[in-house]
Amino acid sequence: MELVRLKLVTIVAEAVLEHRLVEEIKRLGAKGYTLVDARGEGSRGLRTMDWEGKNIRLETIVSEEVALRILARLQEAYFPHYAVVAFVENVEVVRGDKYV
C-alpha cells in the first residue's frame, strides 16, 4: 500500500466564522474538510483579550503549497481581528490524489 505525505491544517475559530472559513479554504485549494463543534479559551490576536465561547474546529488535508496559502490568508485577514488558532501537521494518506 502506497502512503502519500500531505499536510493536515487545523483551524480553531469562533463559530460565526464557519461559513467564511470554509469558503476561504475551498477557494485556496482544499477539496474537503471536517468540522466539529468545540469550545475553549485563548488569547485574542494582538489585543490579548481573553475569549471563551462557541468555536469550530475545522480540519483539511491539503498539499504543502495549499497549507501555506491557507496560513498566509489567515495571517493577513483573520489573525489581526479574530480569535483564530491554526496549526499544521504531517499526515500520511492512502489515495493522495483525492486531496490535491
Which residues of the chain form contacts with a second copy (CB under 8 A)? 1, 3, 6, 8, 12, 22, 31-43, 55, 57, 61, 68, 71-72, 74-75, 79, 85-95, 98
Judged by beta carbon, residue 27 or residue 39, the one nearer a second copy is 39
Give the separation between CA 83 and CA 48, rounded to whole angstroms.
9
CB of 71 to a second copy, least distance (A): 5
Where do we find the cell 497549507?
Answer: 67
CB of 6 to a second copy, least distance (A): 8
Q: Are 80 and 46 contacting, i.e. CB atoms less than 8 angstroms apart?
A: yes
Where do we find the cell 490579548?
Answer: 48
CB of 87 to a second copy, least distance (A): 4
Give the separation between CA 48 and CA 37, rounded to whole angstroms.
23
